[in-house]
Structure 1
Amino acid sequence: MASSRIMALAMLIISSFFFLSTYTQASSDSFLQCLSASIPNQILFTRSSPSFASVLASSVRNPRFLTAATVKPLCIVTATNASHVQATVVCGRTHGVRLRVRSGGHDYEGLSYRSARADATPFAVVDLAGFRSVRVTRGTPATAWVDSGATLGELYYAIGKVSDRLAFPAGLCPTVGVGGHLSGGGFGMLLRRHGLAADHVVDALLVNAEGRLLNSTTMGRDVFWAIRGGAGGGSFGIVLSWRVNLVAVPPKVTVFNIPKSVQQGAIDIVTKWQEVAPALPDELLVRVVAQGQVANFQSLYLGTCDALLPVMSSRFPELGVDRTHCKEMNWLQSVANIFLGDGATVEDLLKRTASGDAVFNKATSDYVRQAIPRDIWAQIFTSWLARPTAGLMILDPYGGKIASVSESETPFPHRKGVLYNVQYMNFWGSAGEEAARTGWVRDLYTFMAPHVSKNPREAYVNYKDLSLGENIVGGGNVTSFEAGRVWGEKYYKGNFRRLAMAKAQIDPNDYFRNEQSIPPVGNQFILTNVTRVDHTA
């Protein structure tokens, strides 16, 4: 009797999987038919399209996620206007196919264009590279409407061509897409004077899970709060465009880049830097890139060299800054110089790819709230950074404006009390090096545990890392708010619950979902396999 029941149950499970597989194929076919009838054929690339592989690879920055084993989308929609995105959402909801969205492709885990799970339900990619308009308006305040597919370099260039007295406080890398950057918070060389990029967002246009186009008013206060640093592009809908307030900068700024080797006292200087850098005048940011046996001190000062030198000699004499280190230029030129090096022009900021963009890499992050002792830095330089498989560490100081904003003002909570952010990153040239190179990142992260923030151990969402935890988004599995807290509170601390509440308002059925998207709170769990439903009524 028991064996008969087991056999019957087994047959039921087998038939269920057969039905699911058949249904999934049918839903995929009907989805593609819906798209073909709803959008221009020239912007739809299915797996059978001759250009599918090249379009998929066009903004992939990490070859780790572009292999034969990569779980790829059913198709890519290279949308160029809002109606294309709206139609894709409606077809996806109607036929049970989820959507992922990418802007610049720098997504550290590739979740904007691939699934990390082999049993993922069918999904398509909305590629916003065609949304690249930047419209700058001078006034009080000066503003810009910037599309999600524009790069930071394109945004900076457009601002700089209007005025050398205006800027925008976002990231250092000019090839990063605006959409993903703003939806995670976004910080760069102006963070101490002007805070986060997301702090300056004043409006946005978002396509929700019903295919409706919403602005900051119609999406609601909580959702507008959520998309400004709460992974808006992958959780709450598809943000097409952002309106941002620009900030004032002087006509002349000063940059320097000073390398210090271990033999030149790098260990002592970095140890001192931890306490000095977050307390410098807000107009001055000095960051550290530590690689091998050298610490590079990179700086932007919103003023002249004559004004900078007395500050450095009185506050940080150990670095030994003198006039020969100073380079004066306007703000736009400083962006090109700091990231691309001497000889770079502002026109170089318009390139959508840069040298080193498409290399194998792995990264994760920490926040430091108490200075790390010198003996630990000695171990880091003489052991961890000296290994043949070593990567690098990037230390960005906080303090100033970023710390003056409350933790609940935006989803980004890493504010008051943070000395600096640490990014651990490693690169390699071939797939055979992956285990050793990622192992270095993982093991250094473990080593650092006693010396960084705790309860939770904080991390920056734009340095996304699936090893911190992930939603289960494939097969017949479920995702939940409680499971999401494992990784979510590292990125968002106490703001994670409010994000989940905003998610429940705008996307209660969790249509926009990936391995680290915000789950809706209120539901005990959300079934992953989406059947043909219409929740728009």
Structure 2
Amino acid sequence: MGALSLSRIILLLLPILLLLSFLRSASAANSSDNTFVNCLVNQSNPSHPITSAIFTPENTSFSSVLQAYVRNLRFNTSTTRKPYLIITALHVSHVQAAVVCAQKQNLQMKIRSGGHDYEGVSYVAEVPFFILDMFNLRFIEVDIKNETAWVQAGATLGEVYYRIAEKSKVHGFPAGVCPTVGVGGHISGGGYGNMIRKYGLSVDNVIDAQIIDVQGRLLNRESMGEDLFWAIRGGGGASFAVVISYKIKLVRVPENVTVFQVRRTLEENATDIVYNWQHVAPYIDNDLFIRLILDVVNGTQNGTKTVRATFIAMYLGDSKSLLSLLNGKFPQLGLNQSDCIETSWLKSVLFWANFNITTPVDILLDRQPPSLIYLKRKSDYVKEPISKEGLEGIWKKMITLVDTLLYFNPYGGKMAEVPSTEVPFPHRAGNLWKVQYMANWNQPGKEVAIQYINLARELYKYMTPFVSKNPREAFLNYKDLDLGINHHGKDSYDEGRVYGEEYFKDNFNRLVQIKTKVDPGNFFRNEQSIPILPQRKI
């Protein structure tokens, strides 16, 4: 009886013991959170309290703050791991506090400046983490006299373009065509747009920067040194520091530029036109950029599908000069005066962003995209023109897959002139164009996502014979976790080298050396960050 009573007592006490254990664990977790928050408060500048910038899940605004800059709906689901805290930095001291305190507590920090990263790396993780969100740090100071501007990382490209145009009708900046992209990630990954053939990458036009390093110091180009300044211009800033701002060099643009969009299907001789585009777009006048978009549409006969080629372009000049140029160099396109729109450089941004060109330009200050979708992206580089037979095979594959798009962005011009070691971005001379693979969908669900992601992967696999090899090159700003994921364990360097050599080629080794020197503890890390050298290799 005594033993039986003891068993009953234990059974009765077990729920209470489990509850006490849970409360102790919760108390320890809260204590850890409180320790982190207390550290943030103590570390930040008293003149700029950080408390209003801290959002925890208990805060009613937490979800809206988190979702405000999620640009890929794949990472905005109920099962997506959420950060346990978001810091919406309002002052440089808040960034410094986040860096210092996160290291003290050994916490994973994700840095988000716009949220357009294709794999959600700036706001999603497989381990407990917090977000340092830069969207409040978006001051822009334009100096037309010296043709420069200081731009904070949380500004959007649309805001940058708008503020430049406020001061000058004949200045611009070579960067992306999507107005809601955040400056921090865009520039630190290389950055390009439709002036790439005239002025190169965004990072080719960066002359200074401010960062918070791993020690919490505010540094500029002089104090950080040329190695680190080199690394954050195309090597991914989030691997090395928190970029606060970039000083950019403005470029000259005409008061009026010309844009056009021409569409041709296979029935309208698209194969011949695309074939000729390959031999023209990378070599023609540097003032002209002609992007080629390929997608699948309904054919002229019921129930059939065809490939459509869309040629969308910007010319830094008037339409008369453009027509003369293309009639001589690319008559197959059949461009007409009626296809051309002469407009200001700022309004050309509206055209490329699929807004009506008569839309008031202050829409560029809107930080929210018109719509959000689920998406998957991949990238490639092409070094030799594709034969007509090769193109026809691509058309057949695309028609089989249906829901995929290809974007071809021509290089040449300035891109062929800048050495591949000038900045970490190595994809220069020798590349005719860059490929972006796109799969978009609107339906939620894991099975649907897998279906569309596999479509992009299948087209990517099919393109293998036509693209660069050893390594098969990729563009950092088109983040693609298919290339490899770093788990930051004992194999971190080897894991990092797999994707690192595709993104950076021979520049990867220099990036690793710099990373090992400036962040030996690998605090600034993510799924595809630059690794440090293992001890045996130092």
Scaled by the length of structure 1, what TM-score is found?
0.89
Counterpart-to-counterpart distance in 2, 1:32 and 1:74: 12
Alignment partner, residue 483 of structure 1: 495
2:395 aligns with 381
Q: 1:287 aligns with which of 281, 287, 291?
A: 291
Identity of aligned residues (%): 44
Write the distance in 2 (CA, Å) between the matches of 1:280 and 1:106: 31
- 3-state SS of the aligned residue for 1:328? strand
Match 2:507 to one of 475, 495, 513: 495
Q: CA deviation at 1:522?
A: 4.9
Give the equivalent residue in structure 2 for 1:400: 413
> Where do residues 132-281 of structure 1 align in structure 2 (5 Å cutoff)?
132-140=138-146, 142-232=147-237, 234-281=238-285
Find the counterpart in structure 1 of residue 426 from structure 2: 413
1:95 counterpart (105, 127, 130): 105
Deviation string 1:245-276 (CA, Å, 9 cap, x unpaired) is: 00011111110000111111112211211121
1:479–1:519 CA contact under 8 A, matched in 2 = no
Deviations 1:100-121 (A, max 9, x none): 1111110111111111x3xx2x
Q: 1:513 aligns with which of 525, 531, 534?
A: 525
Give the direction of change, closer, same or farther, for the CA distance of 1:247–1:395 in structure 2 (3 Å limit): same
Count of aligned residue pairs for this structure pair: 497
Aligned positions of 1:288-437 closer than 5 A: 288-292=292-296, 293-342=307-356, 343-356=358-371, 358-385=372-399, 387-388=401-402, 390-432=403-445, 433-437=448-452
Contact kept in structure 2, 1:336 and 1:345, CA below 8 Å = no
**How big is the alpha-carbon RMSD for the aligned residues of Structure 1 and Structure 2?**
1.9
Counterpart amino acid of residue 510 in structure 1? N
Deviation at 1:21, TM superposition (A): 11
Report the 3-state secondary structure (helix = DSSP H, G, I; strand = E; otherwise coil) of the residue aligned with 1:482. Answer: helix
SS at match of 2:477: helix
> Structure 1 residues 235 and 20, CA, compared in 2 at 3 Å: closer, same or farther?
farther
Distance, in Å, in 2 between the alignment partners of 1:484 and 1:152 is 30
Q: Equivalents in 2 of 1:220, 1:28: separation in Å?
A: 35
The residue type equivalent to 2:361 in the other structure is: V
Farther off after superposition, 262-271 or 185-194: 262-271
Q: Cα distance, 1:417 vs. partner?
A: 0.7
Aligned-pair CA distance for 1:135: 0.7
Q: TM-score, normalised by structure 2?
A: 0.89
1:166-206: per-residue Cα shift (whole Å, max 9, x none)?
01000111110000000010011000000000111111110
Give the letter for the 2:380 counterpart.
Answer: D
Counterparts of 2:492 and 2:28, CA distance in 1 = 25
- Encode CA deviations 1:2-36: one digit per residue, 9 max, x unaligned: xxxxxxxxxxxxxxxxx999987764442133224
Q: Deviations over 1:62-100 (max 9, x none)?
A: 111122322222210000110111011111111111211
Is 1:481–1:524's contact at 8 Å kept on the other side of the alignment? no
In 2, Cα distance between equivalents of 1:23 and 1:385: 57
In the alignment, what sits opposite 1:56?
A: 66
Alpha-carbon distance between aligned partners in 2 of 1:437 and 1:188, rounded to the nearest angstrom: 27
Provide structure 1 residue ranges, at least 5 long, that are not aligned to the other structure. Answer: 1-18, 527-537
* Aligned partner (choices 60, 79, 102) of residue 69 of structure 1: 79
Contact in 2 for aligned 1:145/1:241 (Cα 8 Å):
yes
The 8 Å contact of residues 410 and 434 in structure 2, kept in 1 or not, is answered as: yes
What residue is the counterpart of 1:535 in the other structure?
none
State the SS of the aligned residue for 2:335: coil
Matched residue of 1:431: which SS? Answer: coil
Q: What's the secondary structure of 2:221's corresponding residue?
A: coil
Larger RCO, structures 1/2 (Cα 8 Å, 6+ apart): 1
- Contact kept in structure 1, 2:40 and 2:94, CA below 8 Å: no
CA distance in 2, matches of 1:24, 1:490: 40
Deviations 1:256-302 (A, max 9, x none): 00011111111221121112100001001111111112111001001
Tell me which moved more, 443-452 or 35-44. Answer: 35-44
Distance 1:385 1:462 in 2: 28
Residue by residue, what CA displacement relative to the aligned partner does 1:365-397 show, whole Å, maximum 9, x if unpaired? Answer: 000001122122212223314534x12111100
Aligned residue number for residue 11 of structure 1: none
Structure 2 spans left out of the alignment, 5+ residues: 1-23, 297-306
Moved over 6 A (4+): 19-25
Residue 139 of structure 1 and its aligned partner are, at CA, apart by: 2.3
Matches of 1:248 and 1:319, distance apart in 2: 28
Describe the shift of the 1:314–1:62 C-alpha distance in structure 2 as closer, same or farther (beyond 3 A): same
